[in-house]
Amino acid sequence: MISVRVVGPGRAGRSLAAALADVGCDVRALLGRGDDLTGAASGVDLLVLATPDAAIAEVAAAVRPEPTTVVAHLSGALGLHVLAPHPRRAALHPLVPMPSPEVGRVRLRSGVTFAVAGDPLVARLVALLDGKAITVADEDRPAYHAAACIAANHVVALLGQVERVAATVGLEVQDFLGLARAALADVADLGPAAALTVPAARGDEATLARHRAALPADELAAYDAGVALARRLAAQSRADRVAAAGRGVRS
């Protein structure tokens, strides 16, 4: 049985603590602001720092190192250097939103992907959670985390734009969620290029012009950015098909 202590009783910390308890780990009481962290690494196999990124180095430095204890953080963007001076270090970043401890607890056990680095103990935890472990090196973590933010935060922000634009014609964002879910399912099944069906991919400039004329001025920059991304994806798809044809590969 793996013994775990979590520092940071926020949504991520409480989600992880509950999920690990569900799969049989010995999860000790969570520690938070105001607790003495000096001995936090004592008597456990793993100490998880579930704090904001800006606080990880300070919190790690406040904990007395233990030679047998793995100290890990949940950051997607930071490397292992922020966990100095602990000899056994690791990173464990779940690729799933955790809007509440109750939802996070379930999602962490739903077969999601975790970006791991450092001590192999965290990969064992991912296996216990029935997740998929991918190794991301320190130098690659900023780009990896940028992709994660685009996949989650930027998609949410775009749906915020859908909500605003839909409201101008008396509709709600819920009216468009079936479309969004189907598009994501197509990406999963076919890949982004094959799933793209927008006017920009077809070169339908008249429709794009009508869209721009109908949109409020403060929505145009985001709309134009989306069109540019769609054009880029469509152009790359065409280039890939041409290259495949040149190699005699059927698409």
Tens digit of pLDDT for each residue in 166-211?
999 999 999 999 999 999 999 999 999 999 988 888 889 999 999 9
Domain 142-246 has CATH 1.10.1040.20: yes
Whether 92 and 48 have beta carbons less than 8 Å apart is answered as yes
DSSP symbols for 36-65:
--TTTTTT-SEEEE-S-HHHHHHHHHHSPP
Residues above pLDDT 90, as percent of the chain: 90
Distance CA 115, CA 113 (A): 7
Record the pTM.
0.87
**CA torsion through residues 95, 99, 101, 106, sign:** negative
Residues of the chain with CATH 3.40.50.720: 3-136
3-state secondary structure of 179: helix
According to DSSP, residue 31 is labeled B
pLDDT for 198 equals 82
pLDDT for 249 equals 61
Distance CA 238, CA 131 (A): 35
Residues of the chain with CATH 1.10.1040.20: 142-246
Whether 111 and 117 have beta carbons less than 8 Å apart is answered as no
Q: What is the pLDDT of residues 79-94, one digit of tens each?
A: 999 999 999 999 999 9
Q: Which residues does residue 49 pair with via DSSP β-bridges, in sequence order?
A: 7, 73
Q: What is the pLDDT of residues 215-238, one digit of tens each?
A: 999 999 999 999 999 999 999 877
Domain spanning 3-136: which CATH class is it, in words? alpha beta
